Structure 1
Amino acid sequence: MMGEFDSIRPYADHEVRAVLDRLLGDSTFLGMLTRFRFPRLAGPLGWLLKPLIAHRLRQQVAGIASVAALQDRIELYVDRTLESATDGVSYSGLEQLKPGAPYLFLANHRDIVMDPAIVNYAVYHAGLPTPRIAIGDNLLQRPFVSDLMRLNKSFIVHRSLTGRREKLAAFQLLSAYINHSIRVDGQSVWIAQAEGRAKDGDDRTDSAILKMFHMSRKDEPFAHVLSSLNLIPVSISYEYDPCDQAKARELSIRASSGSYEKAPGEDDASIALGITGYKGRVHVHFGAQVTSGFEDAKQLAALMDRHILGGYRLFPVHHLAYAQWEERDAELAVPALEHQFTADELQSARSEWQRRLDACPVEQQPWLIRQYAMPVRNYYRVKAGLPL
């Protein structure tokens, strides 16, 4: 029997084995893994390496017949990736999440794969069930990517639809699925606060996403529906963004020419760099559950912004960029760097920041500075109770 949500939902335990077997026979997937593991040898020796990698994978996933077992196996790789690409992940606010309660995690969005992976990491290590993850279909161009993501508790957000009626139907289904996941299945959900990454460092909640949560329960008051979803604001802070140069380039081109065309494979490159690139320290803050103080989507978006921006962890690099930013707010009381960080921290931040600036073409530098400076302005405006 076809279920209402079959076109978008994650795979269930009974489907895991068949999907894994399909992946092990997918030449494109094995080719990507070969290039990832052996970048120099993949071209000339790909024909030889592919079957070896398939064999090794088959051994690693032998006996896996559930999503939880697969996540336990994946977790080892996530831990290893975070160890090699960060100077440590810290988190706060997890103690207020009740075991067994499902939540709707609404998070700022900086990195395509690592944002939900790091939230998963925090939740998993706290001994809580990992959330289902909303992922845009624009990132699922290849069947194997879709299979991989849906195996790992991801569900699909149809963004590439153009017709108004199709879009409306897709949002209706998405709304029903998120409500069903939390209220019927008792499963948490992670979703970004806006479509696409905040490339200029300005994390803002799109009220259209909040309206979408309400769409499938239109006959109930907005405030009642949203408070029934156990809404938790999540702030993810990276000390350094591996994709910062690419974002500065895109914003600079957009500002000078009015538009920006992505090159083929650009999303893939962003994903790979976002996973493996150096991030410095990473902090995830889980805010208090938001249950009141709003009547409509606009008011709730403003409230979520205050929670998410106020929960942001600022690192020395953010302050260094803010000091160079032409748009900084002279009225804001931002404490001196020396009062907040050690001399060693500041020294290493200064050299890393200078290295990033030097690598950035002069005309793109204002956009690089803006990415790192914006969170300082937002954080201190929230602290001072000023409008954002």
Structure 2
Amino acid sequence: MGEFDAIRPYADAEVPAVLARLLADDAFLGILTQFRFPRLAAPLGWLLKPLIAYRLRLEFRDVSSVAQLQTRIASYVDHTIERATDGVSYSGIEHLQGGQAYLFLANHRDIVMDPAFVNYAVYHAGLPTPRIAIGDNLLQKPFVSDLMRLNKSFIVHRSISGRREKLAAYQLLSSYINHSIRVDGESIWIAQAEGRAKDGDDRTDSAILKMFHMNRKAEPFAEVINSLRLTPVSISYEYDPCDQAKARELSMRAGSGSYTKAAGEDDQSIALGITGYKGRVHVHFGAPVDQGLDDSKMLAAEMDRRILSGYRLFPVHYLAYAMWADRDPTLAVPNVAELFPAAELSAAKSEWQRRLANCPREQQPYLILQYANPVRNQYRIKAGLPL
């Protein structure tokens, strides 16, 4: 057994067997049937599932590597993105060079689509897709684990409770990330903090930056970070398909001090995040860090500055900020009408009012908060103010 077998993505030699296992998994076939034939899945699932399995076995019968698999499913991913967005744009791709591996540190808003949009950007730029960090809390079903590890995902053990066990898990994770970039030449995508930023306030957890250094503690922190080519990534959604659910959770936390997820809630968030309407999406790649910061908290602040500066603000963000009770009157935030054409602004106002109308009144402040926070953060940076 290899050192990283418990967490690593599947290797090329494992692809045929894992594909065969997936296409015999009733739960996986049920999800595909529901996605492809939502009205017929319940009454005719018994007939449709074996037909879908047969078609997919034919389509993937000659796939024997991860690269082949990603090429084969690229059109499906593109189709899914086209159905759920009004277009994806990206910038900063010129900071990435072929033949180099990078440690992409990104803001985190959606469980599956954040890394999917990064993959979309680098794949269409002709660059290799990164390996993706995913929490074990999302891999409760065997087919989900198989599916993600086939798509270059590696496991972050978050459900471990013991202090020693946690330390060992982070040490292994640190070793794997360093090995992937420095030995395998494979890039890594990881979120800047555990869990999605449900309030729209994207901040880097310095503990994650410390983790990158754990297995090379004899070397200076700044040298280790520079060797990994730490690269900030800003992922901007015009509309968040899960914004109503996030507002509900934030409201309940504010009211009771806690929130307990219902069974299957993560699965629902994943499905809604993939299929729900997002408007426009923008992915920005910053330049790799080369400042030589030796303190993880200072580096976290620098990553925040870069990620938040690279975030693209859409009309809805300014509309929400104008309604926000906690907006900062000292910030020079322009009126939205000064920034966007009338037709674009009119469409945004209509969609924003629809979302507000669908949100219970007591939860609306938390819906507004999600879209307003990026405006506050970006204009504080522009003004040279601390976040």
Tell me the TM-score normalized by structure 1.
0.99
Question: Matches of 2:380 and 2:293 in 1, distance apart?
Answer: 20
Partner of 1:69: 68
Partner of 2:176: 177
Structure 1 residue 296: deviation in Å?
1.2
Partner of 1:202: 201
Question: Matches of 2:181 and 2:297 in 1, distance apart?
Answer: 23
Find the residue that maps to 2:154 and give its secondary structure.
Answer: strand
**1:74-119 deviations in whole A, cap 9, x for unaligned?**
1111100111100000000001211110000000000000000000
Find the residue that maps to 2:216 and give its secondary structure.
Answer: coil
Mapping 1:1-388, distance limit 5 Å: 2-388=1-387
Find the residue that maps to 1:232 and give its secondary structure.
Answer: strand
Question: Matches of 1:247 and 1:151 in 2, distance apart?
Answer: 29
Find the residue that maps to 1:155 and give its secondary structure.
Answer: strand
Question: Matches of 1:226 and 1:245 in 2, distance apart?
Answer: 37
**1:327-355 deviations in whole A, cap 9, x for unaligned?**
10111111221221000010000010000
Question: Matches of 1:39 and 1:323 in 2, distance apart?
Answer: 39
**1:273-292 deviations in whole A, cap 9, x for unaligned?**
00000000000000111111
Structure 1 residue 40: deviation in Å?
2.3
Find the residue that maps to 1:184 and give its secondary structure.
Answer: helix
Structure 1 residue 39: deviation in Å?
2.2
Question: Matches of 1:23 and 1:376 in 2, distance apart?
Answer: 43
**1:42-100 deviations in whole A, cap 9, x for unaligned?**
22222111111110111121100010010011111110011110000000000121111
Q: Is the 8 A contact 2:223 2:292 kept in 1?
A: no
Question: Matches of 1:335 and 1:36 in 2, distance apart?
Answer: 42
Q: Which amino acid aligns with 1:29?
A: F
Question: Matches of 2:93 and 2:37 in 1, distance apart?
Answer: 38
Q: Which amino acid aligns with 1:174?
A: L
**1:124-150 deviations in whole A, cap 9, x for unaligned?**
000000000000000000111000000
Q: Is the 8 A contact 2:105 2:233 kept in 1?
A: yes
Tell me the TM-score normalized by structure 2.
0.99
Report the identity percentage. Answer: 78
**1:171-207 deviations in whole A, cap 9, x for unaligned?**
0000000000000001000000000000000000000
Structure 1 residue 293: deviation in Å?
4.8
Question: Matches of 1:44 and 1:86 in 2, distance apart?
Answer: 30
Question: Matches of 1:60 and 1:118 in 2, distance apart?
Answer: 24
The runs of at least 4 aligned residues of structure 1 exceeding 6 Å deviation read: none
Find the residue that maps to 1:216 and give its secondary structure.
Answer: helix
Question: Matches of 1:238 and 1:371 in 2, distance apart?
Answer: 11
Aligned residues: 387
Question: Matches of 1:302 and 1:96 in 2, distance apart?
Answer: 21
Question: Matches of 1:51 and 1:338 in 2, distance apart?
Answer: 54
**1:291-344 deviations in whole A, cap 9, x for unaligned?**
115211101000000000000000000000000001101111112212210000
Residue ranges of structure 2 left out of the alignment (5+ in a row): none
